[in-house]
Chain A
Amino acid sequence: MKIEQATKERIVRNVVLSLFIYLLPIALMFLTFTITGQRPWEKKAQKQENLKSSTNKPNLNNGSND
């Protein structure tokens, strides 16, 4: 049994529309960032940088825990 041509066409049309819907929340998020000037990814990079500098501190006690 084959799929009807009309059903096939409707599926294709709806799939194309779905691709836009998938992208919509991502596009809206970046639009909000542009309007408000937020840059949350920079905060994360900053946090990682701070973490690196605190863990890279040279160990001056030669392994002793006094």
Chain B
Amino acid sequence: MEATIEFIKKIVENLNGFGFPFLVFFIGVLEFSFGLYKRKWPKNERWVDITCFTLPRLIIRPVFAYYALHFLPFVLPGFKNVFTWVPFLWGFGIIAVADDLTQYWYHRLHHEIPWLWRFHRTHHSASYMGMAMASRQNAIYSLFFSQTYLTAALVYLGLGIPAIAVRVIKSTITTLAHSSIAWDKPFYKYKVLHPIAWVLERLISTPATHHAHHAATTDDGVGYYKGNFGNMFFLWDIIFGTALISRQYPKAYGISHYEGDQWYAQLLWPIFKSKVPGSELAADGPVVRLDIAKEELVKEEPVQKEPEISYLQAAN
């Protein structure tokens, strides 16, 4: 048993080094080869995807290194590696829950608390799914990725190896959930695989459930931007009642009222503002804008009460 765990640890350590970038690159090449982006990668969106992938790393990595190498030893002196005795599998469970549940909350709050929505909007403005948009985030949203700091603290306390294992598995699941390759389709198609599908779609994020979260519509039986917040585990959505499992893929992705905000505004709002009139990222824009279809409904019936947050993209 110990030899097996040691073997797994070695695989995981190697995968952590070069595995993730390779996985993203490999899936990206597959997506392009299959023509999955079609003509849906305009110049502005290309710029948003590429700058969001590269520039935040220049700021966030040094901040994170400072936190792990100076801040933690300063606030927790004498606690370094005190929990190295925790067995690997238990450490894995502790980190998996701590990291992924924290990310679930960070994600959910950015949807359910209106003033936080604009920090997460960049990730939802892409009208396509795939490797190109998987890392598309506002830099400030990425900087305060709370689970990263919690996991770093657990690593400082001695759970380094389990943390690497969780990272590899989590990166793989979240990357594949964002991919435009619907790897989960066969599980829904063949009856013999249905029991596996039932477990999988409740346990982890799949393209079907995560694509529904990125849909441009909601409450149509497929799109559900009001929920499906889970990153590695979908189980949190099941437990907290924020899940929608439809085994279908949305027809349209993104934000219904999106009009191509400039890359710098999407990367660094609120430092830079969008020049698109009426945009949520514009200087005088609304905190949360109604979906296009809902806006039309409101125009037709002008005597309406204050729009409910559950109708809004921010409630996804």
Contact = CB atoms under 8 A, between A and B. Distances in A.
A43 B105 CA distance: 37
Interface string A32-50: 1000000011011000000
A22 B287 contact: no
Given A24-B97, A26-B94, A2 B85 contact: no
Interface string A1-44: 11110010011001101100110111011001000000011011
Contact of A25 (B85, B97, B112, B286): B97
B289 to A, nearest CB: 10
Interface string B107-130: 011001110000000000000000
B85 A17 contact: no
Among B85, B98, B105, B310, residue most surrounded by chain A Cβ atoms (within 10 Å)? B85
Report the contact-size class of chain B (Cβ under 8 Å from the partner): 20 to 34
B90 interface: yes
B86 A29 contact: yes
Contact of A44 (B84, B241, B288): B84
Interface of A is mostly: helix
Contacts of B308: 4
Interface in B1-26: none
A29 B142 CA distance: 32
A16 B18 CA distance: 38
B101 A43 contact: no
A21 to B, nearest CB: 6
A40 B85 contact: yes
B112 A22 contact: no
B193 interface: no
B277 interface: no
Contacts of A28: 93
A3 B113 contact: yes
| CB-based closest 10 A-B pairs | A25-B93, A44-B85, A29-B90, A40-B85, A1-B114, A41-B85, A14-B240, A25-B94, A4-B309, A1-B287
